Structure 1
Amino acid sequence: MRHINKLAEGVLSLLFAAMIIVGTLQVFNRFFINESLSWSEEFQKYAFIWLVFIAIPVAYNRHAHLRVDSLVALFPEGLQRLLRLVVDLLWLALGVALALLTLRIMQVTQSQESPGLGLSMSWVYCGLFIGGVYQVLCVLHRLYSQAFKEGRP
């Protein structure tokens, strides 16, 4: 998983850098050359979609999503572990639902083309699918690691 996590973080960095470059290029063209790029807004919108759905599992790995630790800390340790398991299973359900439902959307949109970039819209939605599959992998890895960390084979 370490290599997959590094790859995801690299993709996020590239997407963010590309969004900044394209946005800067659009501003430059609009104000100095007086001609807008027809594809820049669409590129940034689709790159942002990919960025968000790949960043969700990265934040999950880092425990960076919002949670209420102070409430969970009031419960006994056994119940805390159970609550963490339930939360992880909900994250797993989200990843599975995201991947499966996005596959349906990709089948419907494979013949549609984006107006500015001329991409198949299934490529746009592919970021959601990749994010969902990556989320499933992250949750399964965490559950597997916790099972062996707590001494249960």
Structure 2
Amino acid sequence: MSEPRDSAEQSAALTAHRRRLSAPTRWLQRINHLPDALATVAVAMLIVSVAVQVASRWLGISSAWTEEATRYFFIWLVFLGMGIGFRDASSARVSMFVLFLPQPLRRFLAVGLYSVASVGFFAFLLVQGSGLLIRQFNSGQTATALPMPMWIVGLAVPVAGVVGILAVTESLLVHRRRIEGEEETEG
């Protein structure tokens, strides 16, 4: 069993790994910090709204906005998480069918199926979500308890499409061996 590295060795290894990555890959990794930050904000706001809801119920005060805010933060969190989950190629993949094929064909089909199915799904979210967003924007629909237009909630769907396509692209560039089934996922 190997000994754990100290932080200086880990930092040096991470720096060396980043230097080996191509410029587009480094760009994708930098841009993918935005969905992480948005998801962190959504989790924090979800926790705050649930805490306010619990406290208000405990005090016997009615606050309908907290239930609605919790729901909307959760919607954003789910849609952001969908895309984020594909970044490390650790999400469920269509691999059951290709396991019975010869290795060269397996590698080709694993990457092909992963790419087409994943990008196709996120492109569907982008297109259909954009249509939903336009309809919500044009209708002027607002939330029931919050003074907020509903298109802000609907924006989560096309954003998830973009985040997912970028995440799948990054996973194809960085984790190709994992997608091909040659490398185990962590965790």
TM > 0.5: yes
How far 1:76 moved relative to its partner? 2.5
Residue-by-residue CA offset, 1:23-54 (whole Å, 9 max, x unaligned):
011111111x2102121111111111111111
1:137 aligns with 2:163: no
Report the Cα offset of residue 61 of structure 1. Answer: 1.0
| Corresponding residue for residue 128 of structure 2 | 101
Q: Distance in 2 between matches of 1:67 and 1:60?
A: 10
Residue 78 of structure 1: CA displacement?
A: 1.8
Unmatched 5+ stretches in structure 1: 147-153
> For 1:39, what is the secondary structure of its paired residue?
helix
Give the aligned CA root-mean-square deviation in angstroms.
Answer: 2.0
C-alpha distance in 1 between matches for 2:136 and 2:96:
44
Higher helix proportion, which one? 1
Aligned equivalents of 2:119, 2:46: Cα separation in 1: 30
Worse overlay, 42-51 or 75-84: 75-84
Report the CA distance between 1:94 and its aligned residue.
Answer: 0.8
Deviation at 1:70, TM superposition (A): 6.6
Partners of 1:68 and 1:42 in 2: CA distance: 36
Query: Structure 2: any 5+ residue segments left out of the alignment?
Result: 1-27, 177-187
Residue of structure 2 aligned with 1:12, choices 1, 15, 39: 39
Q: Distance in 2 between matches of 1:87 and 1:2?
A: 20
Whose Rg is larger?
2
Identity level (%): 25
Q: Which moved more, 1:55-64 or 1:122-131?
A: 55-64
Residue aligned with 1:96, SS: helix
State TM-score, norm by structure 2. Answer: 0.70
Q: How does 1:4-153 map to 2 (within 5 A)?
A: 4-31=31-58, 33-67=59-93, 72-81=98-107, 82-110=109-137, 111-143=140-172
1:97, 1:67 → 2: CA distance?
Answer: 18
**Residues 70, 93 of structure 1: CA spacing in aligned structure 2 closer, same or farther, 3 A cutoff?**
closer
Q: Could you tell me which residue of structure 2 aligns to residue 149 of structure 1? A: none
> Tell me, what secondary structure is at the counterpart of 1:120?
coil
- Output the CA distance in 1 between the equivalents of 2:81 and 2:160: 8
* Displacement of 1:144: 5.3
Cα pair 2:94 2:113 within 8 Å, conserved: no
Deviation for aligned residue 1:69: 5.2
TM-score by length of 1: 0.83
Q: In structure 2, how many angstroms separate the alpha carbons of the residues matched to 1:101 and 1:67?
A: 23
Which residue identity is paired with 1:104?
A: G
Q: Post-superposition, which runs of at least 4 consecutive aligned residues in structure 1 deviate over 6 A?
A: none
Partners of 1:68 and 1:124 in 2: CA distance: 30
